[in-house]
Every structure is written in structure tokens, then in C-alpha cells.
Amino acid sequence: MTTLGFVANPIAGMGGRVGLKGTDGMLAEARDRGAEPRAPERAREAIEAYVQRDPDAAIFTAGSPMGADAVRDAGVEPTVVYEPPETLSETSASDTRETVSALLDHDVDLVLFVGGDGTAVDVASVLEERDAETPMLGVPAGVKIYSAVFGVTPADAGRVAATYDDVAAREVNDIDEAAYREGTVQTELKAVVPVPVTRGVQSGKQLASGSTETLAAGFAREIDPERTYVFGPGGTVGAIQEELGADASPLGVDVWRDGEILARDAAEADILETMTDPTTVVVSPIGGQGFVFGRGNHQLSPAVLRRADDIEVVASGAKLDGIDVLRVDTDDATLDESLRGWMDVRTGRFTTRMVKVV
């Protein structure tokens, strides 16, 4: 009988949709902006997928709200090895580390965690301190996903956790959130850990190379002054905004129309308030991963995407050379399904490339 260790960071991802780019030390502000917990539902999806494939597994976890509730929602009674504070705001990284340590005391076969890069660092730090060879796998729920230890979706993570037969060394990376909020990505290698190896585990983020100048120039020349543009984060989209003369937020979402920024570094509510018909959402996939929605741009919520009448994906040819497919993970299964299929990606002044969204 297999034994699964499970721990969920209950506040992971809450800062994304309200434009905070992370929740570390920002829970109160996230709540003030109307943020809702994202991790519990994703935890439930992962455990349900796991239990469907390994219904007889023993699951060890922390008490509510750091795991036990999601396991019970999936129809399984877990063994609780650590009791965290019951109040969401009182849980902390130390509770994650205490849970992982308790899971290792019970000789679990795998540590499945729910969170982002910060949670991955916490899990890896305990494995390193304990000199444990236990593999770890992440259920993506945080705003920042720069590490190569996460499943593509919660359901994929659950499936991989229940069916993998091999592991490989993968990197755990984290970024400085304060610098990220100021528009600078500062990544740091935190650990190298064993991770289940399947096609369902994404590769780490890689920096794309190649000029985007012709792409930006081509896009700018076709701007419709009567259309609202919602520009996603990243250097490729930023090059378009620079071509337009816009004072863009480097890693935020901006709303622009006819030479004027209507909302800079906008949260979901700001975007919805300033959107007018017609609207185009402009995004670029994450290099190496291929995510178009659901990684680092949670402000582009299902409500925003449904209200827009057009989505433009832009990427240099060099960037697409490192991406097999595009991916979406919006927290809305129906919307994700509607976005899947073949998509025309703009690669230059006049050139495009068809890429499949899965």
C-alpha cells in the first residue's frame, strides 16, 4: 500500500487576481482588496484525481485548513500528523515545515504539496535538513511558479502522484517578491530535489532569446484607436507597449486605449471597471512552460477573458522554438476547454505560427 504525504498552503495564490503578484507577507492587503482563497479548491481537485487512481492509499496530512479538509472532501479519512492553527491568517511557513517533518516521520512515499515557489522552498528545505530522499511534487496554486517541481494542473499533479514510476532531479527556484512587485525578476536556485518524472510535470521556466522588435512594430502599426487593449505582463508584451509610447508596468497588467493608459498594474476589478467594447487581451506565453493564462497573470481572470472579444498571443520565433504547446489554467474548466485547440500566435511584423493549446 502506498502512503501519500499531503500539505496545502491555504493562502497560496490569493494575491494574484488582486494584482499583488504574491501573498508572502501580503495576506491582509490581499483580503482588503477582496481576494478569495484559491488553494482549497485546487487541493481538492488534486486529491480527487489521486484517489481515483489509488483509492486504497493511506494519506497523511495536516489538519484543517492545511490538508485534511481537502482529503475528506475527496471521500477519504486521512491520518492527521500535525495540527496547524485553524484560522487561515495564523498559518505560516513554519506550519508547512512542521507538517513535512511529521510526514517524513511516517515514512511517506511522496510529499504532495499545494502552493507556489515559496511553499516549494519550505518543503525542499525540510527534505534537505532531514537528508531525505523522499520525492516531492507540487500542485500549482501560487502566483509564482518558476520551479520545475509542479504538475501542469491540479488534476495532473494528482494523477502523476498516483501513477509515477520514476523520479529525476529538478530545480526549486524562488524570486524576490518585493523586487517582483517593482518590476524586476530576481530568481535564485534554492534546491535540487527528486520529482516524479512524467509528461505531466512541467519544465522549469527558461528565459527566451531573440528580438521582439519587429513583432512590436507590426502590432503597433495595426492598433485600432477605438479598441481597448489589456496588456499582460512580460517583456514581449512590454516591447509592444514601448513601441506605443505607453508607460507600462514591467510585470503587471495594463489597460490601454488610444494612447492613454486607463489602468496601470491593474487588479481584476480595475480591469473590469475600465474595459469597454471592443477589447483585446494581449499575452505572451511563459518561456519553457508555454502557459498563456494561469501563471503570473491571475488578474486576467475568467471574468476578464469572457468579457473580451479578442485574445492575441504574441511571441518571438525563438521563444516558440522552446515551447511544444501552449497551456491554460484559469480555475475555470469550461473556459479552459473553450480556449483549447489551435491558436494563431504572432511572431513578427507580418508572420504568425499555429500552436496548439492543450
Q: Which residues pair with 282 in a beta bridge?
A: 231, 312
Pairing state between β 136-140 and 110-115: parallel
Report DSSP letters for 197-243, one per residue.
Answer: -STTBPPPP----S--HHHHHHHHHT--TTSEEEE-SSHHHHHHHHH
Does a structural domain hold residue 203? no
**Helices 235-243 and 213-221, axial angle in degrees (round to 10):** 50
Q: What are phi and psi of 119, to 5 degrees?
A: -65, -40
Considering its fold, how many domains does the chain have in total?
Answer: 2
Is residue 242 located within the same domain as residue 292?
yes
**For residue 8, what is its C-alpha cell?**
496545502
Contact 215, 202 (CB under 8 A): no
Does a structural domain hold residue 208? no
Structure confidence at residue 270 (pLDDT): 95
Is residue 50 located within the same domain as residue 86?
yes
Structure confidence at residue 90 (pLDDT): 76
DSSP element (H, E) containing 110? strand 110-115
Is residue 172 located within the same domain as residue 227?
no
Structure confidence at residue 188 (pLDDT): 78
Residues 6+ apart with CB under 8 A from 338: none
Is residue 44 located within the same domain as residue 112?
yes
Over its length of 358 residues, how does the chain's per-residue pLDDT go in tens digits? 789 999 999 887 665 554 445 555 554 554 545 545 678 899 999 999 999 999 999 999 999 999 999 999 999 999 999 999 987 667 889 999 999 999 999 999 999 999 988 899 999 999 999 999 999 999 998 776 778 899 988 999 999 999 998 998 888 988 765 655 555 556 678 999 999 977 555 544 433 333 578 889 889 999 999 999 999 998 899 999 999 999 988 789 999 999 999 999 999 999 999 999 999 999 999 887 899 999 889 999 999 999 999 999 999 888 888 888 999 999 999 999 999 998 889 988 877 888 999 9
- Start-to-end CA distance of the chain, whole Å, equals 33
Structure confidence at residue 145 (pLDDT): 79
Is residue 190 located within the same domain as residue 244?
no
- Domain boundary pick from 131, 163, 196: 196
**For residue 187, what is its C-alpha cell?**
530568481
Q: Give just the sign of the alpha carbon dihedral 344, 238, 331, 168.
A: positive
CA 95 from centroid of its chain's CA atoms: 22
Pairwise CA distance, residues 250 & 296, whole Å:
12
Structure confidence at residue 197 (pLDDT): 79
* 260-264 long-range contacts, CB within 8 A, separation 24+: 262/228
Does a structural domain hold residue 201? no
User: Distance of CA 317 to CAs 140, 212, 213, 236, 344, Å?
Assistant: 28, 9, 12, 12, 13
Range of the domain at 171: 3-196
Domain containing residue 165: CATH number:
3.40.50
**Entry pTM:** 0.68
Question: For residue 92, is it left (φ>0), alpha (ψ between -120 and 50) or beta?
Answer: beta
Q: Give just the sign of the alpha carbon dihedral 171, 291, 221, 225.
A: negative
Is residue 125 located within the same domain as residue 219?
no
